[in-house]
Amino acid sequence: MPQAVKAAFKQIEEKQYDLILKSRGIKKIKKLAIVFQGKKVWVKEA
């Protein structure tokens, strides 16, 4: 797993992208990191 996947999850937490959804009453939120490297793709769920 590339370091970029870890960086993507860090960005999700730092930028608090889930706050808007939580403020609307959404409780189940899936956090996905999607990283592209050439023709390779990594998708990881937190």
Give the tens place of pLDDT for each residue, 7-39. Answer: 999 999 999 999 999 999 999 999 999 999 899
How far apart, in Å, do the first and last CA atoms of the chain sit?
A: 14
User: Band of the pLDDT at 1, cuts 50, 70, 90?
Assistant: low
Which residue carries 């990881």 as its tokens?
Answer: 44
Tokens for 25, please give them: 């009453």
pTM to 2 decimals? Answer: 0.76
**Amino acid letter at 46?**
A
The CA-atom distances, in angstroms, between 6 and each of 10, 14, 25 are 6, 12, 27
How high is the pLDDT of residue 46? 86
pLDDT, average across residues 3-9: 93
